Structure 1
Amino acid sequence: MNAPDNLERRARALYREASRQIDPATAGKLRAAGSEALAAAAAPAHARFARMLVPAGAFAAIAVAALMVFSPRDSVPLPPAGAAQTLEADGDLPPDLSNTDPSLMQNLDFYDWLATNDASQASR
């Protein structure tokens, strides 16, 4: 128990002697650095958080730009399964040739004639 007390007393004595022998310019710089460190530690947390938002925002912007540049452009998102059936049921779009019966595509003139005659029958 005696050794740590002796070490502590010797360290304090060396610190006091060194602080008396330091030149005034260096002492002023040390005091200024110490006061800056205390002021930075006492700064509000939101100011430190705001300083972190700038690099984080820049990183996010770079990531979004990289995703836009390197994303494949030829891929088309597929509609949900229910939406495709709804569009076909409504008849707004022509049928997809890969999904229709080939026998329906044989007599297209007949279907055109039928559509024009249905319109004329409806107007009577």
Structure 2
Amino acid sequence: MNSSDKSFEKRARARYQEAAHNLDPVIAGRLRAARRTALQAAAPQAVRHAHRRARLLLPVGALAAIALAALMIWQPAPRPQNAANNPQASATVEQDNEYLPPGAEKADPGLYQNLDFYSWLAASDSSQTKH
């Protein structure tokens, strides 16, 4: 902006202020009434748009909240990994089975006939190590 534009703006602002102070009270009243009427006519339209928007957002928000709650509550059960399809899992299972005693269906039935003997053996073995 150059200096002539600034001086023009200052002169226009000063004339506007002077005209506003020297305005006839009847005309000023009519201008204020016209302004109020225009603002009142525009306000309900803006309120109607806001009300329509709120009426649309309310069900959409409720649906989103229900969907979020359903997703948080319902979680699918984890699928068991098939050892045949996963070589690393099958190696781990075999390694674990190496240290575990065999199940009752795979074990020798003779082992289960003399359980008292095995408990005596464990007790006597631990008592010998203490002495």
TM-score range, shorter chain: 0.3 to 0.5
TM-score normalised by the chain length of structure 1: 0.34
TM-score normalised by the chain length of structure 2: 0.32
